[in-house]
Amino acid sequence: MKLILSLTLVATLILAAIGIPSLTFVVNETDQVIITRFGKPTGAAITNAGLYTMTPFISTVNRFEKRAVDWDGRPTEMPTKDKTYIVVDAFARWRIVDAEAYFLRLRDERTAQSRLDDIIGGEIRNVVASHELIEIVRNDKARKPTGEVVGEDKAVRAIEWPPIQIGRAALEQIVLENAAPKLRVFGIELLNVLFTRINYNEAVQQSIYQRMISERQQIAERFRSEGQGEAARILGNREKELRTIESVAYRKCQTLRGTADAKATEIYARAYNQTPEAAEFYQFTKSLETLQKTTDSNTTLVLTTDSDLYGLLKQSRSRE
């Protein structure tokens, strides 16, 4: 009897261990669950977190994300209204608001992402094709242009941007408004759409970059030539001021030297004119100085009898 009870208890525990996990399931805070039986939903989606029961073995738990999900579109080349080919990279966020419709039409996130590629990508192409590039690139109507550009006549002018009527933010809103109703039938709410990057086609990028480099080089050359002209003007002014300073200094120097020489001559004259003997001595010494400065050991003098130097030598010899 005890053996039978023990076997019954063991069998009960085994059945409980197998049946309880198949009978209950947990819904997390970030999940919403659809219970299906033979592939068909048995009721509305379960969105509240907690422990729930189900029919074991024949029911299946299908979990879906309750939070917002990202959609990152592939960079796609498309033409604008003004026939400029650009590469647009877009981003969006979405969430599941009707899990039953989502399950019946899409089944899983991979299929949902593929459908988002088709719908959002198509609306982006439609918006880009119906607007000019300036509308897609610029966002703020009040933004003022900065910088300069070199025109065909080589003149440098301030950048003048054409006015915009809509702007990038409004175009993103148009994509959102057009794509949201198409996704709502799949149980998806589209939260926002953003253009994350807009580039030129690779075929024209190099020519655009070269043109930009050429314009910058021309502007740099203009600044360089203006700087060289300013440097030449500064150097010219410096040279002019230097010559003026040197001229004034030379004039002052010559004036001082002349004044000093006149003062010295006055002093000498006053000293040697006190007596006739002093004047004669002064004349004698100055003549000797003149003779010393004009002759040396290799000089041969030819003097006439009426020469002052000859008379001076004759007088000095007669005194001996």
pTM: 0.57
Residue type, 71: W
The closest of 76, 81, 77, 192 to 127, measured between CA atoms, is 81
Separation of alpha carbons 34 and 64, rounded Å? 8
Separation of alpha carbons 69 and 66, rounded Å? 9
- Parse the chain into domains and list their residue ranges: 2-65, 69-200, 283-320
Express each pLDDT in 131-153 by its tens digit.
988 888 887 655 555 555 555 55
* pLDDT computed for residue 146 by the predictor: 55
Express each pLDDT in 99-128 by its tens digit.
999 998 998 889 999 999 999 999 999 999
Residues of the chain with pLDDT under 70: 1-22, 140-162, 203-205, 208, 272, 278, 301, 303, 308-320
Domain 69-200's class? alpha beta
Q: What is the largest CA-CA distance in the chain?
A: 182
β-strand partners of 37: 40, 59
* pLDDT computed for residue 181 by the predictor: 94
